[in-house]
Amino acid sequence: LIKFEIGEYVDCLDTCDKWLDAKIIGINDQKVKVTFTEFGDKYDEWIEVNSKRLLKQFVGLSYDSIKLNNRLKILDIQKNKWREARVVH
């Protein structure tokens, strides 16, 4: 069973099948409540702890900890701009 903490940021698959940044704002026995960081609280929802819609965010430099669907910041060297990307393979 994956453990989450209140205040932890996660990657969360929304109901439109898009991976977004979310924050854990509540925990009970089997579910966590997430709030999507770029949306209002009307989109907050309770999700099963073991749901494939929740993914711990990649933090650190160890490539072994990167998982499919993790969101990453990638430097676009042609435009010298950081962009969000998602691990697909």
For residue 58, what is the DSSP state? Answer: P
Q: What's the pLDDT at 13?
A: 94
Q: What's the pLDDT at 1?
A: 65
Q: What's the pLDDT at 20?
A: 92
For 10, the token pair is 């996660």
Task: Examine the pLDDT at 34 and tell me if it is beyond 90.
Answer: yes
Q: Which residues of 34-53 are buried (b: 16+ CB within 10 A; e: fewer)?
A: bbbeeeeeeeebebeeeeeb
Residues 6 or more apart whose CB falls under 8 angstroms from that of 34 comprise: 10, 12, 22, 23, 24, 25, 44, 45, 47, 54
